[in-house]
A and B are shown apart, each in its own frame.
Chain A
Amino acid sequence: MALRSNVHEPIAMGDDPLRLTGQRLPRWAPLASVVAGVVIGLAVQITGITVVGLAPAVMAVLAFLVIYTTWTLAVEGRRHAVDRLATALIYSAATLALVPLVWILITVVVQGISVLSPQFLFVDTMRNVNPRAAGGGVAHAVLGTVQQVGIATLISVPVGLLTAIYLSEYGRGRLARSINFFVDVMTGIPSIVAGMFIYTFWILTLGFPQSGFAAALALTILMIPVVVRSAEEMLRIVPNELREGALALGIPKYRVILKVVLPTAISGIITGVMLAIARVTGETAPLLLTTFLAQDVNWNAFDGSQASLPTFIWDQIARGTQSSLDRAWAGALALILIVLTFYATARILASRYAPKER
């Protein structure tokens, strides 16, 4: 006990005592600096006085950074000032990245919510609706999007997953290298090129009609490389010790992959697949070339034009009236809702299959 009372005493080192404690900023300092920055931003907004023509928001951020850093420098010293400046920059950058995202979401919800209804989503189509007047719905487009993306997923997930398994578990030498190369090239294909390819190959050369299936083929070209890359990454981070442990038990390699490697990586693979689905769900250009537009429900994905949400939005914006713009916003909201549903499903599935500790 006698020893303990000395713990918080400074430790003497010769004449210069080594101090373990120092002046710290109060805990409300970051908040106060943010408030000061906002106040300066508002002042710039109201008075119109600014430096080299910078916008009020930029001035607010700069003022916050300067106040916060100099305050820390004065009280805590240089090392802490650098630390807090870096922290503030990181938080500012993260906030900045969120701004457009939140902005888009809010705009789409505000603009689209008035027209959006279950009736609009699942019952009404644009059949016999004057495209420049109010009314109608996106049921035909929702059906088309679900069918096209569904077919594309059914084709590209098995192909992509098997390719990823080949690359991570078997692939060596020239074949693996060339597959790797082509997957990289495919990742960079612009979506309109994928659409043009299916248009010239499937529709012009082979003579198949424009259809939802042709659109799905174009989406497949875009989807496969994304699925391959994300699944391969997930398979590669499965520790080699697990493969060896399973092989050493006398388990055949294919069952090691099926029962040990895949289950370990499955939650990441699901997330990757869902992100790939979300990415192609919003594609417009390849759909215009392969299935074009339709104003009515077409259940048959293998024959005739089929609507889809992205092409619906494109079509409605082009009509240029207020009613058609409202419909376009509502269609955009529907598209976001579908993608969000995919994403939420992915998160739930991923957490269900994730390896657990307890």
Chain B
Amino acid sequence: MPDIRLVDVSKHICRGLNLTIKDKEIFVVVGTTGAGKTTLLNVIAGVTDYEGSVLIDGVRMDKVSPRKRGVGYLFQGLALFPHLTVEANISFGLQACGVEKATADKRVLSLMEMVRIKHLAHRYPHMLSGGEKKRVALARSLAPSPQILLLDEPTSSLDHQTAKYLRSELIDVLKKLEITTVYVTHDLREAEEIADRIALMSHGKMEQVSSPKEFFFDPRNESVSEFVGMLNIIECSQSRVLTSGLVEVFSDEMRMVLPYDGNNIKKIAIPPDDIYISDVKPPGPALNRFKGKVKDISRHGSNVRVKLSIGKNSLLAELPVTAFDELSIEEGNEVHVVIKLRRLRYVES
């Protein structure tokens, strides 16, 4: 399977986009509506004109029509042909490529079995549920054995349970096929689950391209941090270099020490699961430890989120239910707060 390179691509909101998607990689693009995600897929598929270059496996594709790019595309609106049955929709690409009927029939059957829609073969798209339509669209895009698969929000507009099942099936299919995939979604949880790398797109630009772990715990700028939405962002009033690689920062009553080369920290980000809380004073040095007040407690599945106030700062801590149950904490209580030093991250202003 090939790699994909975009060099200085401009179209609509996308301006001077440069990107490399590796061979066999599942590359997930996240971003808000109108960020340019679908435009990116359209450019790779060649279904829209654009400036710049798209290279697939090192070959310039700008003059190559969509039908010869070897790209399978699951459109956001699916675009299932309403006048063709499920079977005919899937075999459309095979017939277009001149595949012999017997071979095409076998391939259609195996694809229908793979995405579990064999029983729907003779139905028309308007007779299918949302999840079934998505499966048909996936099988259709895979039918001509593309080198690259483009998936535009394949689980959107489905109920939570169906989306979950379809997502796990998709992961199985993509792992099995080892196909270079560009997957567009606005669901971060989905991105984290499925991606080899995640890219956040905002206003036509790639804000960050990194592994899921880096993406969630090492946001490169405020816009990524805000999109991830789970980090505590604290404004710093001043900072001071302690020793090489260690900086002391102040925010209201809080004094924190964090690893950083430089002296221009304006904000810091703290993952909620890196904030420990205790009803008794913990042992050890008083570094990055504070007294805070519990403002709110809420349960989210197997985790508990505790909203704390430390002076004028507000922090969100997340801890497992089991750990929380061992503490005797209620709203309004004063608690001891410990912030893990090595996972503190700076955020550029």
Q: Do A and B bind each other?
A: no
